[in-house]
Amino acid sequence: MTSKDIEKKVAAFQADVTKVRETVGKRIVGQRTILDGVITCLVAGGNALLEGVPGLGKTMLVRSLAEALHLRFSRIQFTPDLMPADLLGTTVIAESAGGAKSFEFRPGPVFANIVLADEVNRATPKTQSALLEVMQEHRVTIGNQTHRLEEPYFVLATQNPLEMEGTYPLPEAQLDRFFFKLHVGFPSRTELHDILDRTTGEHEPAIEPVLDGERILQMRALAREVPVPRHVQDYAIRVLEATHPDRPSAPEKVKRFVRFGASPRGAQACLLAAKIHALVEGRYAATIEDVRAVAIPALRHRVILGFEGEAEGVRSDVLLEDVLASVPETVKG
């Protein structure tokens, strides 16, 4: 590609992200960081976990995003009695008009482009494990039959951090399959005024689709083409290593409070998200600042606290801020 071709593609990428932001913004007040994180996951082909107390608009944000995209949307309300077949589908005996019987696969609600797993931590570990293959490999295996899911594919899960009764902690293997974990914060007073104006009036703002699946796949392909200098990749690796308490580069708080550091998927998420962040900023090369901008949402759910960290209520975000402050941008020699 020539430099002019690159400039056009980057400008088109920026314009499409802006269109999605503005369209969803007709209904959702604030939450710009959360929306940008969700868009990053969508373009990256990853999954997002939204955590926040009830009533902050997590589900509404997902529904609004789905309406802004010309894609199939499916919502699953997770409950303790939900079974894997309720998610994936099942094989049934079907009878034709002539009386012949055959096995027929009836797909479950995961067969969509955007899947909202609402209150995902209310399902049992058995049901949660049914999502592992879906989230990582975008396919469903029932018996000896494997069914591919249509691209683009994106699982967006929500959970409430407060309630403990009737919930099950997400296993580390499932947490690791989320590209980002995003914390939905409480709105400001000005934002609360806007929320009340929009939600207590006569009409709810309408949302029209602005992007389709083909365009999202083109944006995904462009993001993967963004070059990453070797020193930027090395920085992402050193940040990842510093989350491991057994590494010399780990800060003292990490050595004291962390049981396991982030997996290699964390470095993959950091680097791919940094490429997307660079495109959103209008650049066709990822920098160390891009890695720093995405490191916390990419790594916060991949850092496993030890007993002392849990007992003292240490937040993984604080540990990651220490990591980012301690890891030098360049290494001498």
The predicted-structure confidence for 194-243, as pLDDT tens digits, reads as follows 777 777 766 777 788 888 889 999 999 999 999 999 999 999 999 999 99
Give the SS3 label for residue 178. coil
Query: 254: domain range?
Result: 226-328
Within-domain flag for 19: yes
> Domain boundary residue among 219, 249, 276?
219
CATH code of 82's domain: 3.40.50.300
Model pLDDT for residues 257-284, shown as the tens digit of each residue: 999 999 999 999 999 999 999 999 999 9
Within-domain flag for 301: yes
Pair 128, 234 in one domain? no
Task: Identify the CA nearest to 74 among candidates 108, 127, 115.
Answer: 115
Question: Is-contact 185 75, C-beta < 8 A?
Answer: no
The pLDDT value recorded for residue 227 is 93
Task: Identify the CA nearest to 79 among candidates 128, 141, 129.
Answer: 128
Pair 97, 46 in one domain? yes
Number of residues written out for the chain: 333
Q: Does residue 58 have a pLDDT over 80?
A: no
First to last CA, the chain: 35
Within-domain flag for 262: yes
Confidence of residue 27 (pLDDT cuts 50, 70, 90): confident
Handedness of CA 291, 296, 301, 304 (dihedral sign): positive
Confidence of residue 288 (pLDDT cuts 50, 70, 90): very high
The pLDDT value recorded for residue 266 is 92
Confidence of residue 245 (pLDDT cuts 50, 70, 90): very high
Within-domain flag for 323: yes
Average pLDDT over residues 25-43: 84
Alpha carbon separation from 227 to 38, 223, 232, 278 (Å, rounded): 23, 9, 10, 10
Pair 123, 48 in one domain? yes
The pLDDT value recorded for residue 105 is 79
Pair 176, 271 in one domain? no
Q: Which amino acid is at 230?
A: R
Within-domain flag for 313: yes
Pair 133, 244 in one domain? no
Number of structural domains, the chain?
A: 2
The pLDDT value recorded for residue 10 is 92
Within-domain flag for 193: yes
Q: What angle do CA 133, 136, 140 make, to 5 degrees?
A: 30
Q: Which amino acid is at 69?
A: L
Question: Is-contact 81 127, C-beta < 8 A?
Answer: no
Average pLDDT over the chain, rounded to whole? Answer: 86
Pair 236, 178 in one domain? no
Q: Does residue 100 have a pLDDT over 80?
A: no
Pair 197, 269 in one domain? no
Give 12: exposed, middle or buried? Use CB within 10 Å, 0-12, 13-18, 19+: middle
The pLDDT value recorded for residue 91 is 77
Pair 260, 162 in one domain? no
The residues, ordered by sequence, that sit 6+ positions from 155 with a Cβ below 8 Å of its Cβ are: 47, 48, 110, 115, 117, 131, 134, 135
Q: What angle do CA 5, 8, 10 make, to 5 degrees?
A: 110
Q: What is the DSSP letter of 149?
A: P
User: In this predicted model, which residue has the larger pLDDT, 46 or 52?
Assistant: 46
Confidence of residue 329 (pLDDT cuts 50, 70, 90): confident
Handedness of CA 311, 313, 315, 319 (dihedral sign): negative
Average pLDDT over residues 107-116: 89
Rounded Cα–Cα distance for residues 286 and 67 (Å): 31
> Domain boundary residue among 219, 243, 268?
219
Question: Is-contact 125 83, C-beta < 8 A?
Answer: no
Within-domain flag for 333: no
> Domain boundary residue among 189, 219, 249?
219
Q: Does residue 161 have a pLDDT over 60?
A: yes
Rounded Cα–Cα distance for residues 255 and 244 (Å): 8
CATH code of 323's domain: 1.10.8.80
Pair 212, 95 in one domain? yes
The pLDDT value recorded for residue 165 is 61
The pLDDT value recorded for residue 107 is 86
Pair 133, 38 in one domain? yes
Average pLDDT over residues 149-168: 79
Pair 168, 236 in one domain? no
Of the segments 34-43, 135-144, 206-215, which one has the largest average pLDDT value?
A: 34-43
Residue in the structure block whose two tokens are 């997400």: 170
- Partnered with residue 142 across adjacent β-strands are 145
Half-sphere exposure of 9 (CA within 13 A, CB side): 20
Q: Where are the alpha helices (DSSP H) in the chain?
A: 3-25, 32-44, 58-68, 84-88, 125-129, 131-137, 172-175, 189-199, 213-225, 230-241, 252-257, 264-280, 288-299, 307-311, 316-326
The pLDDT value recorded for residue 313 is 84
Task: Identify the CA nearest to 46 among candidates 124, 196, 152.
Answer: 152
Confidence of residue 56 (pLDDT cuts 50, 70, 90): low
Pair 39, 158 in one domain? yes
Within-domain flag for 309: yes
Average pLDDT over residues 237-252: 92
Q: Does residue 287 have a pLDDT over 60?
A: yes
